Amino acid sequence: MSLTELITGVEAHEMVLTVFNADSDAADDLRERFADRNLIVTEGTTIDGPEEYVVLSKGEEFITAASLDEIRNPTLDADPHFEGGRHRAILDHLDETMFTSYDAKQMVAASREIEDRAWRIGAGQLHAGFQNISIIESQLDVYEQLASKRNLDVHAYGYPDIDVPSHEGFTVHIERAEEIARSWFVIYDGAGVDSNKCALLAEEREPREFYGFWTYDPSTVDWILDHLNSTYGMVETDGGR
């Protein structure tokens, strides 16, 4: 399975968020809030149920439920912040829901969250796919700083559109594979601790528009890392193509 196939698999499992016993404005608010997600928001009513609650489901499978107030609370946004302890029931289960049409600014913001976690823990492995070597060049300061953490092993991947720039402390993987040229990813192994693992994976389907997901699921993070380690072995550390 490729990175693209993994993204497609997540995309195929569309979730449904049903708002029960609330006014129609509540459902409209949630549709707007999750407009960039592969998520259907519907409305429902129950005779004896509580007021204003939501249910998250996938096909016929019930996933979780929560109060509407919990979801509408403005301090609990749906953007990736990679602090699992702050999650609530619904948002925690939306981590592998597809996002759509993220621009480069949104992707950078999500990437920085993972890089920040790796920096704070200061150990383990961080793997980042930049699409092109030229983009790695623009991020040298950030990645050399990350690599200054002695126990943090940093890897960067890119298609060789330019010569590899001089760099220190981290490994550059020169790859001509299509999935590397199309994919933006930042994967952190959590220094072997499952609760610290996180990943962002997306592909560019339109010019600078990215479709993908973020995840805190240890098995998904491990699969991506295994795929990268087993598929891409060509390494360049001293410049050149």
* The pLDDT of residue 84 is above 60: no
Question: In order of start, what are the domains of the chain with their CATH numbers?
Answer: 3-92 (3.40.30), 102-231 (3.30.870.10)
Q: 14-54 pLDDT, tens per residue?
A: 789 999 999 989 999 999 888 888 889 999 999 887 889 99
Q: 168-208 pLDDT, tens per residue?
A: 999 999 999 999 999 999 999 999 999 999 999 999 999 99
Q: What DSSP string runs through the chain? A: --HHHHHHHHHHS-EEEEEESS-HHHHHHHHHHTTTBSEEEEEE--SSSPSSEEEEEETTEEEEEEEHHHHH-TTS-SS----GGG--HHHHTTTTSPEEEE-HHHHHHHHHHHHHHHHHH-EEEEEEEEEEHHHHHHTHHHHHHHHTSTEEEEEEEEE-SSPBPP--SSEEEE---HHHHHEEEEEE-GGG-GGG-EEEEEEEEETTEEEEEEE--HHHHHHHHHHHHHH----B-SSB-
